[in-house]
Amino acid sequence: MAQAPPSFLKELFRVSADSTIISFAGGLPSSALIDCEGIAQATREVMDEDACTALQYTTTDGYRPLREYIAGRYRERLGLPATADEIQIVNGSQQCLDLFAKIFLDAGDHVGMERPGYLGAIEAFSLYEPIIHTIPLEDAGLDLGAFQALVINTPLKFFYGIPNSQNPSGRTYSQENRKAIAEILNGTDTVFYEDDAFGELFFDARPRLPVKKYLPDQSVISGSFSKIVAPGMRIGWMYAPEEIITQFNIVKQAADLHSNFISQKILHRYLTTNDLDAHIRKIVAVYQRKCHMMCNLFDDLLPQVSHTHPEGGMFLLATLPPGLSSRRVFEEGVRQNVAVLPGLPFFTDGGGMDTIRLNFSSASEEEITEGMHRLARVIAGFS
């Protein structure tokens, strides 16, 4: 525990719970886009048909029809030869981070990740006391020169990345960048961990081929229904080669026996009785509009603040004027009822002092407009 970084998540949830604050700080999908009635109907059907089975224990690997659905979607969308036996159901893809690290890491082992990197991964991995190395994330993906040098010179157990609409930056790796990553890793002992929480949320609806397409036996993908169905159901999965899935099943069983079975049954019923693609198109249309609105407001109200231009997902990263602390912007913003997330938790080396992450998915369009005006007043106050 002494090696674990201070958690900023508690602060995030506190801010998000205050209704007077317009929060761009959290990572919530839009509550307004959850199909509550569709899920309620699926719940009634599951309970009416076989409630006793749905409320009983089940196998550790998860409800097989749901795993078959996930594998089938990989085959149809991405041309990956996934099977149900390569899928493990987990309590949201966040659990994958913990269990994967438990399998791979001893104290002092080496892990690679993006800079900036997902704070949930930094927190999860840190508990196993690895040495974390970071590679700069550019507009087109990883800095390939730095990545190759790290792989050649360091015995990495695995490299963790988010190629699609990365959290916190919103950046997406180019297809060429993904191919190059696979070529660099091919023949090494390093596994590529591909966190794909946002791969269904591209504004142009065009799937990007994963690194696993080019490195099938040396990479894993974690996925989640939290961003496209409902986060409260806590259903995610790991897609990995059999050798890794076998070990993953052992640590999953030791951790919690199995993920919530009734949620798995309800989710499968919902997915097979509703048009998921149509639902995703609805989500993406709203998120695209909100993202473009936030970017335009940055350009109009805060031209001195540069920012990323996401192709999808839920986040963007902004760089503050020189000398302005992201922590001070957060603290003053909360006083003026607008919250952004300081960049500090996304950097393992003390960076992020001049960056802030903003979430555009949760707030309404009216809240985005008002919140960005509040943020402009906060930053103008410092100048």
187 shares its domain with 249: yes
Strand partners, 113: 134, 160
253 shares its domain with 326: no
146 shares its domain with 264: yes
Residue 3 included in any domain: no
Residue 47 included in any domain: yes
**Residue-by-residue DSSP string for 313-376:** SSEEEEEPPTT--HHHHHHHHHHTTEE-EESGGG-SSS--TTEEEEE-SSS-HHHHHHHHHHHH
Domain boundary among 273, 303, 336: 273
Looking at residue 242, what is its pLDDT?
95
pLDDT grade for 19, boundaries at 50, 70 and 90? confident
Strand partners, 221: 194, 239
pLDDT grade for 145, boundaries at 50, 70 and 90? very high
Looking at residue 383, what is its pLDDT?
75
226 shares its domain with 368: no
262 shares its domain with 294: no
Indicate the average pLDDT of the chain: 96
Residue 266 included in any domain: yes
103 shares its domain with 121: yes
The share of the chain scoring above pLDDT 90, in percent, equals 93
Q: Residue 18 and residue 58: Cα distance in Å, rounded?
A: 38
**pLDDT, tens digit (0-9, with 9 covering 90-100), for 279-333:** 999 999 999 999 999 999 999 999 999 999 999 999 999 999 999 999 999 999 9
25 shares its domain with 52: no
**pLDDT, tens digit (0-9, with 9 covering 90-100), for 28-41:** 999 999 999 999 99
Residue 294 included in any domain: yes
Looking at residue 376, what is its pLDDT?
98
Average pLDDT over residues 11-24: 81
Q: Residue 167 and residue 345: Cα distance in Å, rounded?
A: 12
Structural domains in the chain (count): 2
pLDDT of 15 > 80? The answer is no
Residue 244 included in any domain: yes
For the ranges 16-25, 73-82, 158-167, the lowest mean pLDDT is seen at: 16-25
Q: How does DSSP classify residue 312?
A: B
**pLDDT, tens digit (0-9, with 9 covering 90-100), for 183-238:** 999 999 999 999 999 999 999 999 999 999 999 999 999 999 999 999 999 999 99
Domain boundary among 273, 292, 320: 273
Q: 353: domain range?
A: 9-35+277-382
pLDDT of 105 > 90? The answer is yes
207 shares its domain with 142: yes
**pLDDT, tens digit (0-9, with 9 covering 90-100), for 62-80:** 999 999 999 999 999 999 9
Looking at residue 55, what is its pLDDT?
97
Task: Residue 162: give its domain's CATH number.
Answer: 3.40.640.10
